[in-house]
């Protein structure tokens, strides 16, 4: 699952390799993680989405992560549910920022995923977002904020997004 084409941003051309890698432990996570893809698309960020499991495809997960930086990725978003160790394993094999999205559901309705993702011992950080779809959206927005540190046009897009969100809230009527 790749998107390298929906780019409005002149700083990123069609030949740009994926800047953001989005991995998830199972295809069952995709319904949630489409929210991440949608936001990245909205901002024209080249990205690559892939199912990779820390326990079912450990070698491939390490291979993907070890080569991410040389393939141009600047942020990896990792989503998993249950004993959600994917983001931690990915973070162990790269120094580029890793954002974890805990999936909702399973035995503890996402609390298991949240704690598994967020409670990294010191030294190997995973920036953990909220459970489920809100976390999936925010992971994309945080990745965009990281990328926008060195991309003024993207920063402008992000500020524009925030301004529109504010306008939408201020236009709400309770009648
Ligand atoms: C995790 O186990 C996945 O991230 C998924 O959230 C969960 C269940 O996976 P499936 O049994 O639906 O494949 O590894």
Nearest to 36 by CA among 10, 71, 1: 1
Position with higher pLDDT, 4 vs 154: 154
The pLDDT, as a whole number, for residue 15 is 56
Atom of ligand 1 lying closest to residue 29 CA: 6
144 φ, ψ to 5°? -65, -40
Pocket test for ligand 1, best of 22, 24, 27, 28 (most atoms within 8 A of CB): 28
CA of 54 to the centre of ligand 1 (A): 10
Residues 130-147: what's their mean pLDDT? 98
What's the pLDDT tens digit per position in 72-109?
999 999 999 999 999 999 999 999 999 999 999 989 99
């Amino acid at each position: 699952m790749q998107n390298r084409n929906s780019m409005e941003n002149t700083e990123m051309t069609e030949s740009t390799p994926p800047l953001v890698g989005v991995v998830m432990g199972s295809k069952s996570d995709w319904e949630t993680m489409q929210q991440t893809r949608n936001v990245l698309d909205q901002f024209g960020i080249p990205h690559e989405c892939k199912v990779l499991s820390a326990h079912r495809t450990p070698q491939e997960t390490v291979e993907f992560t070890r080569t991410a930086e040389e393939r141009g990725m600047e942020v990896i978003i990792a989503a998993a549910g249950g004993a959600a160790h994917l983001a931690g394993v990915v973070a162990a094999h790269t120094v580029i920022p890793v954002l974890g999205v805990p999936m909702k559901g399973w035995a503890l309705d996402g609390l298991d995923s949240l704690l598994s993702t967020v409670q990294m011992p010191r030294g190997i950080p995973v920036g953990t977002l909220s459970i489920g779809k809100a976390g999936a959206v925010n992971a994309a927005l945080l990745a965009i904020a990281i990328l926008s540190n060195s991309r003024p046009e993207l920063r402008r897009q992000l500020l524009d997004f925030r301004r529109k969100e504010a306008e939408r809230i201020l236009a709400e009527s309770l009648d």
